[in-house]
Amino acid sequence: MTEPAAPTGTVHWVGAGLSTGSGLAALCEHTDGVRLWHRTAERAAGALDRLGLTGRAEPCAYTLDALTARLAPGDVVVSMLPAPEHAGLLAACVARRAHFACSSYVSDAVLEQVPAATGAGIVVLTEAGLDPGVDHLFAHSLVGRARAAIGDDTAASYRFTSYCGGVPAIPDDFRYRFSWAPLGVLNALRSPARYIEDGAEAVAERPWEATRGHRLDGEDFEVYPNRDSVPFVRQYGLPDAWRPLTFVRGTLRLDGWLRAWDAVFAQVRQGDDAAIAALARELAAAHPTTPDDRDRVVLAVSLEVHPPGARGDAGGEGAAWAGSYLLDLVGDEEESAMARCVSRPLALGVRHILDGSLPPGLSRAAGTAARSEQWLRELTDDGLEFAFREGG
């Protein structure tokens, strides 16, 4: 591996969509080398004006070639583009020895470039938004606390759940407002979910069919599994001596969502790609998000660890350790809750690239319990509020 690429302080923030919020402003407070790339320089300037950042960042017209031409070794590229475009951006970063950051899950196309990126001495920061992102920080923190309390070699069973959702702050009949592209929401519903339930792996071919009630602070929600939860058992560092009774990462919706979406599910069951794309357009037109709407983000992560014979494991007397995090944030006229919760953690991760504290190679958010605790403290200082509770 070559020497790590020394950060220059120049940050190329690519894209100014719904998730670009106050995190960009936070970066401008830490470096004067921010460039915002958008479809045209005029659109970029308009986005900076909307964010109150005129004169604090340079507006640029984005094409991959134009961006590549301005990359220098040690620059940081932040991709707010759709996930399929990350691989091309990362390839340009590897070629120019520029660091890379995004809030999306690691795709195969990104993962296969990690060895070259590591060899080039650059950081590849991924899964550093809300979900994935803050959920990882919460999970690493909970697992670290439980390991300290119980010990890695102590036989135990555990239940872990992580649910996140963007919902309307004022519930509507549809029980939802689209905080990201409707087509993405529908395609996520078409993807099977793998998780652990009752001590065994389970697969929900249609994730919404595994929906159940979930109560948080006296309020009823509905939750269902999504994607593949199982690899995160290892990613979160849960000890081999602990047996998972439940391990689920999934989506949170308002109570009544399952019934309100019954007609949507009927079309998702039967539709091909073209029909689903048409349905997405219909839903976008029927349920538009207006400037007066206020969104709400809820992220709830919990871990209970039980010794043999404890309640939750063959009906014993209680958990050896239990803890949970809850983030519940409503947007305001200045910024949506989703934009704040995605852009603030991502900007924090970029700051850690700039200060040289992230090693070359792949990082999924903070990646360790100790680093997660640090990031959570810093996010609190940045004004992102959440609550930790220990005990049942």
Class of residue 346 by CB neighbours under 10 A (exposed 0-12, middle 13-18, buried 19+): buried
Q: Are 297 and 130 in contact (CB under 8 A)?
A: yes
321 Cβ contact partners less than 8 Å away, ≥ 6 residues apart = 145, 146, 149, 150, 303, 304, 305
Catalytic residue among 49, 65, 75, 131: 131
Classified as helix, coil or strand, 119 is helix
* Dist. CA 152–CA 139, nearest whole Å: 16
For residue 27, give the 3-state DSSP assignment: helix
User: What string of DSSP letters covers 201-235?
Assistant: EEEESSGGGG-EEEEETTEEEEEEE-SB-TTHHHH
Contacts of 262 (CB under 8 A, 6+ apart): none
Nearest Cα to Cα of residue 204 among 213, 212, 192: 192
What's the Rg (C-alpha) of the chain? 21
Residue 102: beta bridge partners?
Answer: 79
Tell me if residue 49 is catalytic: no
Of 240, 228, 23, 255, the C-alpha closest to 128 is 23
> What is the maximum alpha-carbon separation in the chain?
65
Task: Say how far apart CA 133 and CA 131 lie, in whole Å.
Answer: 5
Alpha carbon 238 to chain centroid distance?
20
Among 363, 142, 357, residue whose Cα is nearest residue 237: 142
**Number of C-alpha atoms within 13 angstroms, CB side, residue 235?**
22
Q: How many CA atoms lie within 13 A of 103 on its CB side?
A: 26
Whether the Cβ atoms of residue 123 and residue 353 lie closer than 8 Å to each other: yes
Active site residues: 131
